[in-house]
Amino acid sequence: MNIVLFGAPGAGKGAQAERIASVYGMVHLSTGEMLRSAISLGSDLGVKAEEIINRGELISDDIIVKIVDARIDEDDCVKGVILDGFPRTVAQAEALDEMLAGKGLSLDHVIEIEVDEPALFARIENRASERRRTGTTRSDDSAEILRRRLAVYHENSAPLLPYYRAKGLLRSVDGMASINGVAAQIDNLLG
């Protein structure tokens, strides 16, 4: 089973993806985590990615597609993947469809976690506070970066909703529910 989790930055995609991976034996592929790993390793890609992320912009399609394509080929992805943070544009969605078809695979579910934007700012502040308390940091945990990321989301990613709706794949859950409530909604969609 292959799933795309979709929603605005801070909607809770990562937490739900980790839970789905654990429950269903799938692999959570977070392009954000893959990029943060490259950043921490100091690779050329990581340095470029850090500059782009810190500006609140998106990494180019060709780089992201290559990263995802290679990762899906790894042995641990045989039971399926949960894509979190990819695709973010219609061009990436089309590239994903083509990539999966070339592997004899397809998407089974596209799940949108719907959240009110004011709640996203509260969530990002809570996440930043928790990271400060634990001594960890993440450069994109700020209201300013979230504003930029939301603008990019509305411009580039929102067109994915009609794209996947037209394919009959898009389902939405209420992201304002508790974490367990969102999880229950997702489980109902997955059957």
Supply the residues annotated as catalytic: 13, 88, 127, 138, 149
Angstrom CA distances, 86 to 12, 124, 142, stand at 14, 20, 21
Alpha-carbon dihedral angle through residues 186, 188, 21, 74, given to the nearest 10 degrees? -100
> First CA to last CA across the chain, in angstroms?
12
Chain centroid to Cα 111, Å, comes to 11
CA–CA gap between residue 174 and residue 39 (Å, rounded): 33
Chain centroid to Cα 56, Å, comes to 15
CA–CA gap between residue 185 and residue 59 (Å, rounded): 31
